[in-house]
Protein backbone atom coordinates (compact mmCIF):
# COMPACT_ATOMS: atom_id res chain seq x y z
CA UNK A 1 0.00 0.00 0.00
CA UNK A 2 1.31 3.48 -0.90
CA UNK A 3 1.91 6.04 1.90
CA UNK A 4 -1.15 8.18 1.04
CA UNK A 5 -3.39 5.08 0.91
CA UNK A 6 -2.15 4.08 4.38
CA UNK A 7 -3.01 7.52 5.77
CA UNK A 8 -6.53 7.29 4.25
CA UNK A 9 -6.94 3.76 5.63
CA UNK A 10 -6.02 5.02 9.13
CA UNK A 11 -8.59 7.83 8.77
CA UNK A 12 -11.29 5.31 7.82
CA UNK A 13 -10.41 3.08 10.80
CA UNK A 14 -10.58 6.02 13.25
CA UNK A 15 -13.84 7.33 11.79
CA UNK A 16 -15.56 3.93 11.68
CA UNK A 17 -14.09 2.81 15.04
CA UNK A 18 -13.14 -0.52 13.48
CA UNK A 19 -9.95 -2.59 13.31
CA UNK A 20 -8.33 -4.15 10.26
CA UNK A 21 -8.19 -7.94 10.46
CA UNK A 22 -4.40 -8.08 10.53
CA UNK A 23 -2.40 -10.40 12.78
CA UNK A 24 0.00 -9.18 15.52
CA UNK A 25 2.51 -8.37 16.78
CA UNK A 26 1.31 -4.77 16.80
CA UNK A 27 3.08 -1.43 17.05
CA UNK A 28 1.56 1.45 19.02
CA UNK A 29 2.25 5.17 18.70
CA UNK A 30 0.93 7.99 20.88
CA UNK A 31 1.02 11.60 19.66
CA UNK A 32 0.61 13.97 22.60
CA UNK A 33 -0.24 17.18 20.81
CA UNK A 34 -1.19 20.70 21.80
CA UNK A 35 -4.63 20.26 20.28
CA UNK A 36 -5.14 16.50 19.93
CA UNK A 37 -3.98 13.25 21.45
CA UNK A 38 -3.92 10.42 18.92
CA UNK A 39 -3.24 6.71 19.52
CA UNK A 40 -2.46 4.58 16.46
CA UNK A 41 -1.88 0.84 16.08
CA UNK A 42 -0.21 -0.74 13.04
CA UNK A 43 0.84 -4.30 12.27
CA UNK A 44 4.54 -5.19 12.12
CA UNK A 45 4.68 -4.02 8.47
CA UNK A 46 3.30 -0.59 9.32
CA UNK A 47 -0.21 -1.23 7.98
CA UNK A 48 -2.81 0.75 9.96
CA UNK A 49 -4.94 -1.50 12.19
CA UNK A 50 -6.90 0.91 14.42
CA UNK A 51 -6.73 4.27 16.14
CA UNK A 52 -8.54 6.81 18.22
CA UNK A 53 -8.13 10.50 18.97
CA UNK A 54 -9.34 13.10 21.42
CA UNK A 55 -9.33 16.89 21.45
CA UNK A 56 -7.24 17.89 24.49
CA UNK A 57 -5.39 20.80 26.05
CA UNK A 58 -2.95 18.95 28.28
CA UNK A 59 0.09 19.96 26.21
CA UNK A 60 1.21 23.52 25.44
CA UNK A 61 3.83 24.27 22.78
CA UNK A 62 5.01 20.68 22.92
CA UNK A 63 5.25 20.54 26.73
CA UNK A 64 2.99 18.43 28.97
CA UNK A 65 1.25 20.89 31.33
CA UNK A 66 -1.48 18.60 32.73
CA UNK A 67 0.26 15.33 33.52
CA UNK A 68 -2.69 13.58 35.18
CA UNK A 69 -5.11 14.74 32.46
CA UNK A 70 -2.76 13.45 29.75
CA UNK A 71 -2.45 10.04 31.42
CA UNK A 72 -6.23 9.75 31.76
CA UNK A 73 -6.82 10.54 28.08
CA UNK A 74 -4.14 8.10 26.85
CA UNK A 75 -5.58 5.41 29.16
CA UNK A 76 -9.06 6.05 27.69
CA UNK A 77 -7.79 5.90 24.12
CA UNK A 78 -5.87 2.71 24.91
CA UNK A 79 -8.98 1.08 26.43
CA UNK A 80 -11.09 2.20 23.45
CA UNK A 81 -8.67 0.74 20.89
CA UNK A 82 -8.21 -2.45 22.92
CA UNK A 83 -11.98 -2.96 22.85
CA UNK A 84 -12.12 -2.33 19.10
CA UNK A 85 -9.25 -4.77 18.46
CA UNK A 86 -10.03 -7.31 21.17
CA UNK A 87 -6.36 -7.40 22.26
CA UNK A 88 -4.29 -5.87 25.05
CA UNK A 89 -1.70 -3.21 24.15
CA UNK A 90 1.34 -3.10 26.41
CA UNK A 91 3.99 -0.85 24.82
CA UNK A 92 4.29 2.11 22.53
CA UNK A 93 6.33 4.93 21.04
CA UNK A 94 5.97 8.67 21.58
CA UNK A 95 7.30 11.79 19.88
CA UNK A 96 8.28 15.33 20.81
CA UNK A 97 8.87 18.51 18.82
CA UNK A 98 12.54 18.79 17.70
CA UNK A 99 14.78 20.30 20.37
CA UNK A 100 12.66 19.11 23.30
CA UNK A 101 15.14 17.78 25.85
CA UNK A 102 15.54 16.65 29.47
CA UNK A 103 12.50 16.34 31.69
CA UNK A 104 10.22 17.91 29.08
CA UNK A 105 11.10 15.13 26.64
CA UNK A 106 10.84 12.44 29.33
CA UNK A 107 7.36 13.65 30.32
CA UNK A 108 5.78 12.09 27.20
CA UNK A 109 7.24 8.67 28.03
CA UNK A 110 6.07 9.03 31.64
CA UNK A 111 2.55 9.82 30.41
CA UNK A 112 2.22 6.68 28.30
CA UNK A 113 3.84 4.61 31.08
CA UNK A 114 1.22 6.04 33.46
CA UNK A 115 -1.43 4.86 30.99
CA UNK A 116 -0.05 1.31 31.03
CA UNK A 117 2.11 1.41 27.87
CA UNK A 118 5.80 0.66 28.33
CA UNK A 119 7.66 3.39 26.37
CA UNK A 120 9.90 1.78 23.75
CA UNK A 121 11.04 4.75 21.70
CA UNK A 122 10.78 8.55 21.43
CA UNK A 123 11.28 10.30 18.11
CA UNK A 124 11.16 13.84 16.74
CA UNK A 125 7.65 14.52 15.35
CA UNK A 126 8.71 15.49 11.79
CA UNK A 127 10.98 12.43 11.65
CA UNK A 128 7.94 10.25 12.33
CA UNK A 129 6.07 11.97 9.49
CA UNK A 130 9.06 11.51 7.15
CA UNK A 131 8.99 7.77 7.81
CA UNK A 132 5.35 7.51 6.72
CA UNK A 133 6.03 9.52 3.57
CA UNK A 134 9.12 7.36 2.84
CA UNK A 135 11.25 10.43 2.24
CA UNK A 136 14.87 9.77 1.28
CA UNK A 137 15.83 13.31 0.27
CA UNK A 138 13.25 15.87 1.31
CA UNK A 139 11.87 18.28 3.88
CA UNK A 140 8.93 17.71 6.25
CA UNK A 141 7.22 20.68 7.85
CA UNK A 142 4.89 19.75 10.73
CA UNK A 143 2.45 22.52 11.66
CA UNK A 144 0.37 21.33 14.58
CA UNK A 145 -1.54 23.24 17.21
CA UNK A 146 1.34 24.84 19.03
CA UNK A 147 4.48 24.43 16.99
CA UNK A 148 6.01 24.49 13.53
CA UNK A 149 8.75 21.87 13.22
CA UNK A 150 10.91 20.79 10.31
CA UNK A 151 13.07 17.80 9.48
CA UNK A 152 15.50 17.64 6.54
CA UNK A 153 16.43 14.18 5.30
CA UNK A 154 19.39 13.42 3.05
CA UNK A 155 20.01 9.88 1.80
CA UNK A 156 17.41 8.74 4.32
CA UNK A 157 19.39 10.28 7.20
CA UNK A 158 18.15 13.13 9.36
CA UNK A 159 20.51 16.06 8.81
CA UNK A 160 18.60 18.95 10.40
CA UNK A 161 15.60 19.57 12.68
CA UNK A 162 14.18 22.75 14.17
CA UNK A 163 11.03 23.89 15.92
CA UNK A 164 9.31 27.21 16.66
CA UNK A 165 6.26 27.90 18.84
CA UNK A 166 3.77 29.00 16.19
CA UNK A 167 0.89 26.79 15.02
CA UNK A 168 -2.85 26.43 14.56
CA UNK A 169 -3.51 27.85 18.02
CA UNK A 170 -2.15 31.17 16.78
CA UNK A 171 -4.46 31.02 13.76
CA UNK A 172 -7.41 30.60 16.16
CA UNK A 173 -6.21 33.44 18.41
CA UNK A 174 -6.08 35.78 15.42
CA UNK A 175 -9.61 34.75 14.41
CA UNK A 176 -10.88 35.20 17.97
CA UNK A 177 -9.43 38.72 18.03
CA UNK A 178 -10.69 39.70 14.59
CA UNK A 179 -14.26 38.42 15.10
CA UNK A 180 -14.47 39.24 18.86
CA UNK A 181 -15.34 35.63 19.68
CA UNK A 182 -13.97 33.09 22.18
CA UNK A 183 -11.04 30.84 21.34
CA UNK A 184 -13.40 27.83 21.24
CA UNK A 185 -15.71 29.59 18.76
CA UNK A 186 -12.69 30.54 16.67
CA UNK A 187 -11.56 26.88 16.61
CA UNK A 188 -15.02 25.85 15.36
CA UNK A 189 -15.01 28.57 12.72
CA UNK A 190 -11.54 27.55 11.56
CA UNK A 191 -12.48 23.88 11.26
CA UNK A 192 -15.63 24.66 9.22
CA UNK A 193 -14.41 24.39 5.63
CA UNK A 194 -17.46 26.42 4.44
CA UNK A 195 -15.95 29.47 6.16
CA UNK A 196 -12.39 29.03 4.91
CA UNK A 197 -12.83 31.40 1.96
CA UNK A 198 -14.14 34.12 4.30
CA UNK A 199 -11.39 33.73 6.91
CA UNK A 200 -8.47 33.38 4.48
CA UNK A 201 -7.60 37.13 4.35
CA UNK A 202 -7.69 37.31 8.17
CA UNK A 203 -5.41 34.34 8.77
CA UNK A 204 -3.09 34.92 5.82
CA UNK A 205 -0.50 36.83 7.91
CA UNK A 206 -0.19 33.82 10.26
CA UNK A 207 0.34 31.40 7.36
CA UNK A 208 2.90 33.82 5.93
CA UNK A 209 4.63 33.92 9.30
CA UNK A 210 4.79 30.11 9.40
CA UNK A 211 6.31 30.10 5.90
CA UNK A 212 8.85 32.73 6.96
CA UNK A 213 9.78 30.69 10.03
CA UNK A 214 10.50 27.67 7.84
CA UNK A 215 12.38 29.79 5.30
CA UNK A 216 14.55 31.23 8.09
CA UNK A 217 15.19 27.77 9.53
CA UNK A 218 16.59 26.70 6.16
CA UNK A 219 18.64 29.83 5.55
CA UNK A 220 22.31 29.05 5.13
CA UNK A 221 21.74 25.45 4.09
CA UNK A 222 22.83 24.89 0.50
CA UNK A 223 21.77 21.96 -1.60
CA UNK A 224 18.18 21.58 -0.41
CA UNK A 225 16.59 23.87 -3.00
CA UNK A 226 15.47 20.89 -5.11
CA UNK A 227 14.20 18.81 -2.18
CA UNK A 228 10.44 18.17 -2.15
CA UNK A 229 8.68 19.87 0.78
CA UNK A 230 5.72 18.18 2.50
CA UNK A 231 3.56 20.00 5.02
CA UNK A 232 1.74 17.86 7.61
CA UNK A 233 -0.15 18.67 10.84
CA UNK A 234 -3.74 19.76 11.37
CA UNK A 235 -3.19 23.38 10.29
CA UNK A 236 -2.62 22.15 6.72
CA UNK A 237 -6.35 21.19 6.56
CA UNK A 238 -7.17 24.84 5.86
CA UNK A 239 -8.49 25.17 2.30
CA UNK A 240 -5.93 26.77 0.04
CA UNK A 241 -3.21 26.25 2.64
CA UNK A 242 -0.73 24.62 0.21
CA UNK A 243 -1.06 27.50 -2.27
CA UNK A 244 -0.79 30.27 0.33
CA UNK A 245 2.13 28.64 2.15
CA UNK A 246 3.94 27.90 -1.15
CA UNK A 247 3.59 31.52 -2.26
CA UNK A 248 5.02 32.93 0.99
CA UNK A 249 7.68 30.22 1.19
CA UNK A 250 8.75 30.74 -2.41
CA UNK A 251 8.64 27.01 -3.15
CA UNK A 252 5.88 24.58 -4.05
CA UNK A 253 4.84 22.40 -1.10
CA UNK A 254 2.68 19.28 -1.02
CA UNK A 255 0.04 18.49 1.62
CA UNK A 256 -0.76 14.77 2.04
CA UNK A 257 -4.36 13.65 2.70
CA UNK A 258 -5.48 13.91 6.36
CA UNK A 259 -2.33 15.85 7.31
CA UNK A 260 -3.15 15.61 11.04
CA UNK A 261 -2.74 11.81 10.95
CA UNK A 262 0.67 11.60 9.25
CA UNK A 263 2.81 12.18 12.37
CA UNK A 264 0.70 9.88 14.63
CA UNK A 265 0.94 7.07 12.04
CA UNK A 266 4.69 7.64 11.81
CA UNK A 267 5.12 7.43 15.59
CA UNK A 268 3.46 4.00 15.56
CA UNK A 269 6.03 2.81 12.99
CA UNK A 270 8.66 3.26 15.73
CA UNK A 271 6.54 1.37 18.30
Among 7, 10, 30, 59, binds ligand ATP (CB under 6 A): 59
Residues 191-210 that bind ligand ATP (CB under 6 A): 191
Cα→Cα distances 94→6, 156, 160, 193, 260, Å: 20, 21, 20, 30, 16
Judged by beta carbon, residue 154 or residue 191, the one nearer ligand ATP is 191
Cβ proximity to ligand ATP, 55 vs 221, nearer residue: 55
Judged by CB under 6 A, the chain residues 19 through 38 that form the site for ligand ATP are 31, 33-36
Chain centroid to CA 119: how far? 19
Residue with smaller CB distance to ligand ATP, 97 or 119: 97
Strands 253-254 and 229-232: parallel
Q: Of 29, 126, 233, 271, which one interacts with ligand ATP (CB under 6 A)?
A: 233
Task: Report the relative pairing of strands 118-124 and 91-96 from DSSP bridges.
Answer: parallel
- Quick check: 168 binds ligand ATP (CB under 6 A)? yes
DSSP 127-167: HHHHHHTT-SSEEEEEE-SS-EEEEEEETTEEEEEEEES-S
Nearer to ligand ATP, 25 or 34 (CB): 34
- Using CB under 6 A, list all residues that contact ligand ATP: 31, 33-36, 59, 62, 125, 144-147, 167-169, 187, 190-191, 233-235, 237-238, 260
Amino acid sequence: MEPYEKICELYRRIESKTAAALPGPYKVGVDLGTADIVLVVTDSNGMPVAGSMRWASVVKDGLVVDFRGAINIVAELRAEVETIMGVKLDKGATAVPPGTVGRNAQACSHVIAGAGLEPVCQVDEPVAAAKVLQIKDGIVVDIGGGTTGIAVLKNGELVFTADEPTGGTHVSLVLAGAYHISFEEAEKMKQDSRRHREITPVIMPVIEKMATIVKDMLTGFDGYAEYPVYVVGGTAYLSGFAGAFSKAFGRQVEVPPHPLLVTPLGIALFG
